[in-house]
A = this chain, B = another copy of it.
Amino acid sequence: MSRDYATLVNHQVRLAARPVGLPKPGDWRHAEEAVPPPEEGGLLVEVLAISIDPAMRGWMNEGRSYIAPVALGDVMRAGGIGRVLASRHPGYAVGDLVSGSTGVQQYWSVPAEQMHSAGPAKIDLRLGSIGQWLNVLGMPGMTAYFGLTEIGRPRAGETLVVSGASGAVGQTVGQLGKILGLRVVGIAGGPAKCAWVVEELGFDACIDYKAPAAAGVERWDAVREGLARHCPDGVDIYFDNVGGDILDAVLARIRRHARIVICGAISQYNADGGVAGPKNYLALLVQRARMEGMVVFDWAERYPQAVAELAGYLKDGRMKSREDIVAGGVAAFPATLLRLFSGENFGKLVLEIAPV
């Protein structure tokens, strides 16, 4: 506790404006501040890597959603992993690796009052890499696990469709679906992602939503055609990460008593003309089906159980993971976030803040 933090400078990304449509670099500003020593009962954490998530776009909007928006001027919210630099809490030692709501900054000062609710959880690199702790063993994996098992309620032999199939949530949803005995069809953008999902992850098929359609047909006809080919008997569970036209295409093919898990709608987050509602929602009536939203935080008490199960699958090789780790530190945050919305990333997008 004798180390002098006065020499450290905390580079941060703070929210400067509420974006309309796609965020632009000017919606944030760079800030630098001194690093205070931790208070009694608190921690100082050096941030190593942060998770880049579609949900970040929603946090930039005004108005309460499932979580309060980031206030203008505040450090941009992010989940991340860091190393304890200084501890005044008996449960943590210098050098411990922790995950938590670090924010887009180099140093995370955790006050004593946050050590319970939004406080850091220790992570164990024997169970997975830092990238995997932000992916399969982190929020995306927890989302996949509880969304599929608790909202999707799968029964062996059913057909599961998952959009964003090579993304953070989708890759775990699909592999968990295979472990649970489902037929799994992914939807992803581009032949490389589709090939990876089928050949490496073992999905039964993957539909390339970017595949060129015949002249004169709309782009998402590739999805409709793919669903007809790969889900000839219809869809029992749809795990939706994207919304929009793809949600409508799947609704048109759901089976009796289907379950649609609304996990996200990345195609709609930047829609400045407003969200497009699913025109085919009356398929829910015809098919006596259900569409249900989920927020991962509701399952926090059961994270340890899910982490243990998923870490077991990583260890025995039944589950693979792919992280797209971008170097560049906090300054690279705006450009990295935009890669999510263009679909450029391949796998769970992670921004490295400091080398391990």
Contacts and interface: CB of A to CB of B under 8 A. Distances in A.
Which has the most chain B C-beta neighbours within 10 Å: A66, A288, A293, A295? A293
Contacts of A274: 279
A268 B282 contact: yes
Q: Which of A277, A284, A295 has the most CB of B within 10 A?
A: A277
Contact of A285 (B276, B283, B284, B294): B294
Contact of A282 (B265, B284, B294): B265
Interface string A259-281: 00011110010000011111111
Chain A interface residue bracket vs B: 20 to 34
B293 A286 contact: yes
Contact of A294 (B265, B283, B288, B293): B288
A291 B285 CA distance: 10
Nearest to A285: B293
A132 B168 CA distance: 55
Centre residue among A243, A274, A292, A298 by max chain B CB count within 10 A = A292
A31 B206 CA distance: 53
A77 to B, nearest CB: 16
A158 interface: no
A259 to B, nearest CB: 9
Contacts of A282: 243, 262, 265, 268, 275, 293
A65 interface: yes
A290 interface: yes
> Could you tell me the dominant secondary structure of chain A's interface residues?
loop
A262 B280 CA distance: 13
Contacts of A298: 288
A248 interface: yes
A275 B280 contact: yes
A114 interface: no
A289 interface: yes
B295 A288 contact: yes
A291 B292 contact: yes
A284 B290 CA distance: 11
A65 B283 CA distance: 9
B285 A262 contact: yes
A289 B288 contact: no
Contacts of A286: 65-66, 293, 295
Interface in A158-207: none
A287 interface: yes
Contacts of A295: 285-286, 288
Contacts of A66: 285-288
A282 B65 CA distance: 10
Given A278-B281, A284-B291, A287-B293, 17 more contacts: A65-B286, A262-B281, A264-B285, A274-B279, A275-B279, A276-B277, A276-B279, A277-B278, A282-B293, A284-B292, A285-B294, A288-B293, A288-B298, A289-B292, A289-B293, A291-B291, A291-B292
CB-CB nearest 4 A-B residue pairs: A277-B277, A285-B293, A284-B293, A277-B279
12 contacts: A66-B285, A66-B287, A66-B288, A262-B285, A265-B285, A277-B281, A281-B281, A285-B295, A288-B295, A288-B298, A290-B290, A291-B291
